[in-house]
C-alpha cells in the first residue's frame, strides 16, 4: 500500500505574487501620497493636486507593470537558458550528470552508495527535473512568472494609490497635507502587517520598516514642495 500524502500549504508558495503585491501596494501608497503632499505643500489648488494624483496613479501602475514584466522576464530567460544547457548535457554526458547529482547529495550528508542510488532513481524518473531542483534551484514554486508579477504589481499599485487620492476629494484643502500623510501612514502600517502575516514574518518589524520609510519619503517630498512653492 502506498503511503497517503498529506498536502501541506507552505508559505514559500506565495513568494512570487506576494513580493509583487507588497511592492506594488507600497509604491502606490508612498509615491502617490508623496506626490500629493509635495504638490499640496507647494500651495497648488485642489484640482491641481487631484490631476497630479490621478496622473501619478496611472503612470505608476503602468510603470510597475512594465518594470515587473521586464525584470521577471529576464529571470525567466535565464532559467530557460540554464535548463536548455542542462538538457544538452544530459543528452551528451549522462554519466557525468548522474555523478554530479550524486555529489550534491553527498555534500548534504548522504552516504556515497545511497546518494548514487537516489541520483539513479531520480534521473530515471525525471532527469531534467532533478537537476533543475537540486543543481539549479529551479522549482514550480519559485519559477519566474512575468505576467502574474506584472498584473499583480499594477493592480496593487492602483489600489494603494487610490487610498491617498481619495483623501484629496474627501478632505478640505487646508487639511490636505496632514490628512493624506496620516492616512497613508496608517495604510502603510496595515500593509506591512498583512504582508508580514501572509509571509510568516515578524509583524512588528515589518510594520515599522514600511511605515518609517514611507514617512521619510513623504517628509522629503513635502519639504521640497514647500521650498518650490515659496520660490514660485
Q: What percentage of the chain carries pLDDT values higher than 90?
A: 13
Q: Which residue has the higher pLDDT, 163 or 42?
A: 163
CA dihedral 184, 193, 25, 19 (to 10 degrees): 160
CA 4 vs. chain centroid, Å, equals: 35
pLDDT, average across residues 195-223: 81
Give dist(CA 90, CA 131) in Å, integer. Answer: 9
CA angle, corner 148, sides to 145 and 153, nearest 5?
120
Q: From 134, 155, 152, select the one nearest 71 (Cα to Cα).
A: 152
Confidence of residue 203 (pLDDT cuts 50, 70, 90): confident
Domain hosting residue 209, numbered range: 14-231
Q: Mean pLDDT score of the chain, rounded to an integer? A: 82
Quick one: pLDDT at residue 84?
A: 92
Residue 92 within any structural domain of the chain: yes
Quick one: pLDDT at residue 23?
A: 78
pLDDT, average across residues 7-12: 47
| DSSP run (H or E) holding 89 | helix 46-92
10 pLDDT higher than 70: no
Confidence of residue 142 (pLDDT cuts 50, 70, 90): low
Q: SS3 sequence, 140-205?
A: CCCCCCHHHHHHHHHHHHHHHHHHHHHHHHHCCHHHHHHHHHHHHHHHHHHHHHHHHHHHCCCHHH
Give dist(CA 178, CA 227) in Å, integer. Answer: 17
Give dist(CA 214, CA 202) in Å, integer. Answer: 19
When divided into structural domains, the chain yields a total of 1
128 pLDDT higher than 80: yes
Quick one: pLDDT at residue 229?
A: 58
pLDDT, average across residues 5-13: 47
Q: Under 8 Å CB-to-CB from 1, ≥6 apart: which residues? A: none
Residue 8 within any structural domain of the chain: no
Q: Are 189 and 8 in contact (CB under 8 A)?
A: no
Residue 7 within any structural domain of the chain: no
Q: Are 26 and 210 in contact (CB under 8 A)?
A: yes
Residue 161 within any structural domain of the chain: yes
Confidence of residue 1 (pLDDT cuts 50, 70, 90): very low
189 pLDDT higher than 80: yes
Residue 9 within any structural domain of the chain: no
Residue 122 within any structural domain of the chain: yes
90 pLDDT higher than 60: yes
pLDDT, average across residues 37-63: 88
**C-alpha distances out from residue 25 to 32, 86, 148, Å:** 11, 38, 15
Residue 185 within any structural domain of the chain: yes
Quick one: pLDDT at residue 11?
A: 44
Residue 149 within any structural domain of the chain: yes
Confidence of residue 58 (pLDDT cuts 50, 70, 90): very high
Amino acid at each position: 500500500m502506498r503511503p497517503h500524502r498529506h498536502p501541506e500549504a507552505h508559505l514559500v508558495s506565495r513568494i512570487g505574487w506576494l513580493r509583487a503585491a507588497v511592492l506594488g501596494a507600497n509604491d502606490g501608497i508612498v509615491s502617490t501620497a508623496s506626490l500629493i503632499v509635495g504638490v499640496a505643500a507647494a500651495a497648488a489648488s485642489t484640482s491641481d493636486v487631484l490631476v497630479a494624483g490621478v496622473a501619478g496613479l496611472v503612470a505608476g501602475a503602468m510603470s510597475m507593470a512594465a518594470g515587473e514584466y521586464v525584470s521577471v522576464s529576464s529571470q525567466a530567460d535565464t532559467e530557460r537558458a540554464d535548463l536548455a544547457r542542462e538538457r544538452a548535457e544530459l543528452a551528451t554526458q549522462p554519466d557525468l550528470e548522474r555523478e554530479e547529482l550524486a555529489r550534491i547529495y553527498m555534500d548534504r550528508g548522504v552516504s556515497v552508495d545511497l546518494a548514487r542510488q537516489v541520483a539513479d532513481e531520480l534521473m530515471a524518473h525525471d532527469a531534467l527535473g532533478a537537476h533543475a531542483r537540486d543543481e539549479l534551484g529551479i522549482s514550480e514554486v519559485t519559477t519566474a512568472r512575468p505576467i502574474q508579477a506584472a498584473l499583480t504589481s499594477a493592480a496593487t499599485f492602483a489600489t494603494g494609490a487610490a487610498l491617498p487620492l481619495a483623501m484629496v476629494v474627501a478632505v478640505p484643502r487646508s487639511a490636505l497635507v496632514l490628512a493624506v500623510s496620516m492616512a497613508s501612514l496608517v495604510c502603510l502600517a496595515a500593509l506591512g502587517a498583512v504582508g508580514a502575516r501572509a509571509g510568516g514574518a515578524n509583524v512588528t518589524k515589518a510594520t515599522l520598516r514600511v511605515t518609517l520609510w514611507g514617512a521619510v519619503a513623504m517628509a522629503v517630498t513635502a519639504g521640497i514642495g514647500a521650498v518650490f512653492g515659496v520660490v514660485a
